[in-house]
Amino acid sequence: MRLAIIGAGSVGRAVLDQASHRGHSVVAIADSSTAAVDPAGVDAAEVLRRKAQEGQVGAAAPDALFEAPYDVLIEATPTTLGSAQPGFGHVERALRADRDVVLANKGPVAERYEDLQVLVDGSEGRVRFEATVAGAIPIMATIAAYGPAQVTGVRGILNGTANFILTRMASESLAYDHVLAEAQELGVAEADPSFDVDGTDAALKCVIIANVLSQGDRTHRLAEADVTGIEAIPTSAHQAARDAGKTIRLVGEVGEDGVRVGPRLIPLDDPLAVTGTENIVRLELTDAGPMHLAGRGAGGPETAAALLADIDRLAR
């Protein structure tokens, strides 16, 4: 497939790096201010060098990407809430041109799922978004394989930064601010960690799952989710949890009543009690029974692998 990658952060760059190994060619890549376009395939090494040294991927205007002869748009710009712009506009442009779209950006599928379906219905293009939920862990693929109607419940640890902080607080009896600073130093937390620690990121992933499970009967958005973060958990709460054979985790849940995210007490021997930045999802399936899918929920190469799996599925 001929790929156009919009967004040249760690995910977009990893797709550029991996695409040729999977038999795809990148005909365009854009960052916020420039684009590199070549119908014969851009020179990945040269683009990565230019981005590292000059801070931009190319010399063309970003809009030139949409003029490239691409089959699939890879939307890897940062997730935004509400109108989900500019990501939603990129998706809209590709679908109106009857191209396929593969998303790493959670905004369009979490915040504007209904609008997205209208665009899909009027397009020859298809939309896939395994990469929006927990990196390469095959959550959307497994729901698709057994059918959304088979899924009666979803519960998971969907934010690695929050889980790292909770794990460290519990194991070392350290205060939240101390562990957050440590996570930022290690690169596990961003300079502005709000979306990770206030539950927004985990909630967006749950909203995406909820939208798929609802099969069009109902549309979910972040605003309707019941979300509590981990900022207010005192160190003493971790000690009390441990005394009871439990641990505190930021758990996301998708159920009949919608999406709920918040700190929950989890037995120490529960599969959901993963440590560090690990993510895990428990799917309850009618015929197939409960299933646990776990792995790295974030990271450039991991997320790119999920995008490429979606691209391969579109190519079949």
267 belongs to the binding site for its own copies (CB under 8 A):
no
81 or 294: whose CB is closer to its own copies? 294
57 or 143: whose CB is closer to its own copies? 143
Which residue in 51, 106, 205, 246 is the catalytic one?
205
Instruction: Considering only residues 152 through 191, tell me which ones interact with its own copies, judged by CB under 8 A.
Output: none
Report, in Å, the least distance between residue 33 CB and its own copies.
28
β-pair partners for 127: 101
Stretch that binds its own copies, among 130-138, 160-168, 193-201, 223-231 (CB under 8 A): 130-138
22 belongs to the binding site for its own copies (CB under 8 A):
yes
Q: Which residue carries 């390469």 as its tokens?
A: 136
Structure tokens at 31: 């960052």
Stretch that binds its own copies, among 45-53, 78-86, 159-167, 283-291 (CB under 8 A): 283-291
Structure tokens at 188: 């596990």
How many whole angstroms separate alpha carbon 265 and alpha carbon 112? 32
For strands 127-128 and 100-103, give the pairing. parallel
**Which residue in 73, 125, 62 sits closest to 104, CA to CA?**
73
26 or 203: whose CB is closer to its own copies? 26
Q: Does the active-site annotation cover 205? A: yes
Report, in Å, the least distance between residue 137 CB and its own copies.
6
Cβ–Cβ under 8 Å, residues 131 and 295 = no
6 Cβ contact list (under 8 Å, min separation 6): 12, 29, 30, 62, 65, 73, 74, 75, 76, 77, 90
**Which residue in 188, 156, 146 sits closest to 294, CA to CA?**
156
68 or 305: whose CB is closer to its own copies? 305
Report, in Å, the least distance between residue 308 CB and its own copies.
8
Report, in Å, the least distance between residue 125 CB and its own copies.
17
CA distances from 141 to 71, 84, 130, 187, 296 (A): 21, 24, 7, 29, 16
94 or 131: whose CB is closer to its own copies? 131
Stretch that binds its own copies, among 43-51, 79-87, 151-159, 293-301 (CB under 8 A): 293-301
Q: Total residues at the site for its own copies (CB under 8 A)?
A: 35
Q: How far from the centroid of its chain's Cα atoms is residue 183's Cα?
A: 20
| Residues tagged active-site | 205
Binding site for its own copies (CB under 8 A): 14, 18, 22, 135-138, 141-142, 145-147, 150, 271, 280, 285, 287-296, 299, 301-302, 304-306, 309, 312-313
